[in-house]
Amino acid sequence: MQELAPVAAAPVLDAESVAQEFPILSRRIGGHPLVYLDSANTAQKPRAVLDVIYSALAEHNANIHRAVYPLAHESTEAFEGARRRIADRLGSAYEEIVFTKNATEAINLVAYAWGRAFVNPGDTVLLTEMEHHSNIVPWQLLARERGAHLRYVPVMADGRLDMSALDRELATSPKLVGVVHVSNVLGTVNPVEEIVARAHRMGSRVLIDGAQAAPHLPLDLGALDADFYVFTGHKCYGPTGIGCLWGRAELLAEMPPWQGGGAMIEKVTFEETTFLDLPARFEAGTPHIVGAVGLHAAVDWVEKLSLDAIHAHECALVAECRDALRSVGGVTLYGPEDSAGIVSFNVDGVHPHDTATILDDAGVAVRAGHHCAQPLMRVLGVEATARASFAAHSDSSDIEALVRGIEQVKRIFSA
Ligand SMILES: Cc1ncc(COP(=O)(O)O)c(C=O)c1O
């Protein structure tokens, strides 16, 4: 089992001063200060990221990789500099970082380009019951097209994966194992290093959906040893419309392009085309230049705070929030105690959409619904949950506002 306790020497994070870096957090909603507890949906953006985005468009805007004037050079440098920075941060090589529009597109890229080349009729793709739709639907499309099978590792009552079932499934040597690093519903931190090691022993490739891990957990791709890892910029304090696929260079190199157009070609004739090397081969058309630049700023901002400090801070908030909701009574909690920044719950007898609406009246923003994980909802035996999720700027006052809102929900529904 992966060690989840925060590093003892993690620097302490001053959430109050961090919050001051987010202009949006000074907004009032319906006469109340905004209490933003929906960072798992999308994170708010610190001023450092907003300023860089403004400056990229106001002072350096030009298309990349194609013109010789200074603006074009600056813009190209900023875009490729972002890639270099992300590669360094993740302990990977520059050419292994492919920019996509989000995590969903990164998974679709692998399912399309790698899957259509290497998954054959009768092969198995092994997923888990706690996957986001983004890590189910692309594989269903592939399986239908290629005549492959999908299998799912069960989730146990404590919100963790059944690792002995994983071993049983691995015994059939699935072509690929796709697993979420941190569940967006339960907050479970899956033991991905262990899963990668076991899957590799059986000759399976492993794709990890890091959409909810990247904002919360320090990551070293070298140590993890997976085959593909994806994440999305907007949950990491960066802009929407930018995400990353990391793939092992030798795997990316044997994958055919998945989209054709400008920027990914070496030579085009009316008859045929040859393609550029990695990573350009997978980036057809004008990319989200300012998205990459904004994501670079977000990576710098997070590093300044330290992911160890953010993780330790959020672990403490999760514990405090779960205790507070338990003491209110009549609240069902989902997921393990040591969830990474996420607390899913239901107020007994109240639909989570009603809970979220009453919380919204008090300025508290949470998400309610199936969280793009309808199969997991069925496993949990519910239609939906409410979900509070934390970020570096969250603090105890946010939890107090949530609890006041939940008490109001109970008052209204007991009347
Ligand atoms: C675990 C997980 N995977 C994938 C995604 C998809 O992210 P995006 O919509 O940015 O592609 C999400 C978004 O909520 C997520 O939580």
Q: How far apart are the CA of 131 and the centre of ligand 1, in A?
A: 10
pLDDT-above-90 percentage for the chain:
96
Residue 411: the pLDDT is 96
Residue 199: the pLDDT is 98
Residue 2: the pLDDT is 47
Q: Is the pLDDT of residue 1 over 70?
A: no
Residue 415: the pLDDT is 79
15-41+306-414 has CATH 3.30.70.100 classification: no
Tens of pLDDT, residue by residue over 33-81, are: 999 999 999 999 999 999 999 999 999 999 999 889 999 999 999 999 9
CA 115-116-118 angle, 5° bins: 65
Q: Is the pLDDT of residue 229 over 90?
A: yes
Which protein residue has the closest C-alpha to ligand 1 atom 12?
211
Strands 205-209, 228-232: parallel, antiparallel or unpaired by DSSP? parallel
Structure tokens at 177: 């194992």
Select from 38, 42, 184, 244 the residue to mutate for testing ligand 1; criterion: most ligand atoms less than 8 Å from CB.
184
Q: Average pLDDT of 98-117?
A: 98
Q: How far apart are the CA of 323 and the centre of ligand 1, in A?
A: 27
Q: Average pLDDT of 348-370?
A: 97
Q: How far apart are the CA of 387 and the centre of ligand 1, in A?
A: 15
Instruction: Name the packing angle between helices 47-59 and 289-305 (round to 10°).
Output: 150
Residue 66: the pLDDT is 84
Looking from the CA of 268 toward its CB, the CA atoms found within 13 Å total 7
- From CA 3, how far away is CA 182, in angstroms rounded? 14
30 pLDDT tier (thresholds 50, 70, 90):
confident
Q: How far apart are the CA of 274 and the centre of ligand 1, in A?
A: 33
104 close to ligand 1 (CB < 6 Angstrom):
yes
* Residues 249 and 277 sit within 8 Å (Cβ to Cβ): no
Residue 147: the pLDDT is 98
128 close to ligand 1 (CB < 6 Angstrom):
no
Tens of pLDDT, residue by residue over 247-298, are: 999 999 999 999 999 999 999 999 999 999 999 999 999 999 999 999 999 9
Q: Average pLDDT of 114-130?
A: 98
Fold: same for 15-41+306-414 and 50-303:
no
Structure tokens at 87: 């590669």
Residue 328: the pLDDT is 96
389 close to ligand 1 (CB < 6 Angstrom):
no
232 close to ligand 1 (CB < 6 Angstrom):
yes
pTM of the model as a whole? 0.96
Q: Is the pLDDT of residue 153 over 70?
A: yes
CA distances from 80 to 77, 98, 297 (A): 5, 11, 13
Q: Is the pLDDT of residue 237 over 50?
A: yes
Sequence letter at residue 363: G
- Check if 372 is active-site: yes
Count, residues in the chain: 415
* Domain ranges across the chain: 15-41+306-414, 50-303
Tens of pLDDT, residue by residue over 298-343, are: 999 999 999 999 999 999 999 999 999 999 999 999 999 999 999 9
- From CA 140, how far away is CA 144, in angstroms rounded? 6
Q: How far apart are the CA of 329 and the centre of ligand 1, in A?
A: 31
Instruction: Name the packing angle between helices 192-201 and 163-170 (round to 10°).
Output: 20
CA 105 to ligand 1: nearest atom: 11
Cis peptide upstream of residue 279 (ω within 30 degrees of 0): yes
Q: Is the pLDDT of residue 10 over 80?
A: no
50-303 has CATH 2.130.10.10 classification: no
Least confident of 10-14, 208-212, 367-371: 10-14
108 close to ligand 1 (CB < 6 Angstrom):
no
Q: Average pLDDT of 6-34?
A: 88
